[in-house]
Amino acid sequence: MIERPRARRYPFAASADLVDMASETEIREQTTDLSVFGCQVTAQKVWAVEQKDQLVLEKWLAEARDIHERTSNAH
């Protein structure tokens, strides 16, 4: 059975500085793509997108959609 993404994914790259509050461990990773369910970050530990971060996610998605539509319409 082939696993399909739940939503369209957009190419997206950004640095992510993560801090585990319990251990105060800092990690710097890169995102690889973006969808309405969040962004892909490869990390040693699973991190949840908190409610306050939802607004940032929605902004990034709007920007990714705009870029995708402009490049699709240009061809």
**pLDDT tens-digit readout, 10-65:** 888 888 887 877 788 888 888 888 888 888 777 666 666 777 778 888 888 888 88
- The reported pLDDT for the residue numbered 75 is 63
48 domain residue, yes or no:
yes
Domain that residue 65 falls in: 10-74
Separation CA 32–CA 18 (nearest Å): 15
Q: Is residue 9 scored above 80 in pLDDT?
A: yes
23 domain residue, yes or no:
yes
Write down the number of H helices and E strands in the chain.
Answer: 1, 4
- The reported pLDDT for the residue numbered 48 is 63
2 domain residue, yes or no:
no
57 domain residue, yes or no:
yes
3 domain residue, yes or no:
no
19 domain residue, yes or no:
yes
34 domain residue, yes or no:
yes
Q: Which residue in this structure is represented by tokens 């790259």?
A: 13
Quote the number of domains for the chain: 1
62 domain residue, yes or no:
yes
- The reported pLDDT for the residue numbered 6 is 78
